[in-house]
Amino acid sequence: MNEMRWQQSIPSPLGALCAVTDGHSLTELEFDRDVRDSIDAPVAATRLLDRVAAQVAEYFAGERTAFDLPLAPRGTPFQQGVWRALLAIPYGRTASYGDVARAVGQPAAFRAVGAANGRNPIAIVVPCHRVIGADGTLTGYAGGLARKQALLALEARHAFALQP
């Protein structure tokens, strides 16, 4: 039996995001993906999708540093572990792939962490944009390096303003 899913386009200063829910949790939030019928999810306004849109807008306005949404990204157990580790990276901070590998208990798996990071289906909310190279350089981002840089700059600007 197929589970029901719903989708909605969410505007952002960095381009539209496509949000997908299973009715209970956010399962996908991606840049550069049109809302369409081909994923067997009707375009609809639901309370959860409205919450996602509101929280994304608050994030871009610098009013939200943490999301309060039920999440259900689909992935392997290793990917799930990496994505949980990403959620622990504080707003306005970054971590290296090696840092995340250590956080999931596999310090030599930094390349696998990079692959899992690149497959994160919930952009911004699961902050894969906060992962950088060990030397501090920006490395791959599914939404494009310009967006990654813009997200990190937005967080740095607001994190600095929020400090006592």
- 119-164 pLDDT, tens digit per residue, is 999 999 999 999 999 888 888 887 888 999 999 999 998 876 655 5
The pTM (predicted TM-score) of the whole model is 0.88
Share of the chain above pLDDT 70, in %: 88
Once rounded to an integer, what is the mean pLDDT over residues 19-26? 92
Q: Give the pair of three-digit tokens for residue 125.
A: 């909310």
Q: Measured between alpha carbons, how far is 36 from 43 in angstroms, rounded to an integer? A: 7
Once rounded to an integer, what is the mean pLDDT over residues 28-32? 89
Once rounded to an integer, what is the mean pLDDT over residues 7-34? 90
pLDDT in tens, 45-63: 689 999 999 999 999 999 9
The segment(s) of the chain belonging to CATH 1.10.10.10 are 77-162
Q: What confidence tier does 2 reach under pLDDT thresholds 50, 70, 90?
A: low
Q: Give the pair of three-digit tokens for residue 9.
A: 């386009």
Q: Average pLDDT over the chain, rounded to whole?
A: 89
Name the residues annotated as catalytic: 128
Per-residue confidence (pLDDT) for residue 4, from 0 to 100: 83
Q: Is the per-residue pLDDT at 1 higher than 50? A: no
Closest CA to 141 of 120, 111, 112: 120
**CATH classification of 77-162 is 1.10.10.10, yes or no?**
yes
Q: Which helix (H) or strand (E) holds 157?
A: helix 145-162
What's the maximum distance between 2 C-alpha atoms anywhere in the chain? 52
The answer to whether the beta carbons of residues 97 and 140 sit under 8 Å apart is no
The answer to whether the beta carbons of residues 108 and 102 sit under 8 Å apart is no
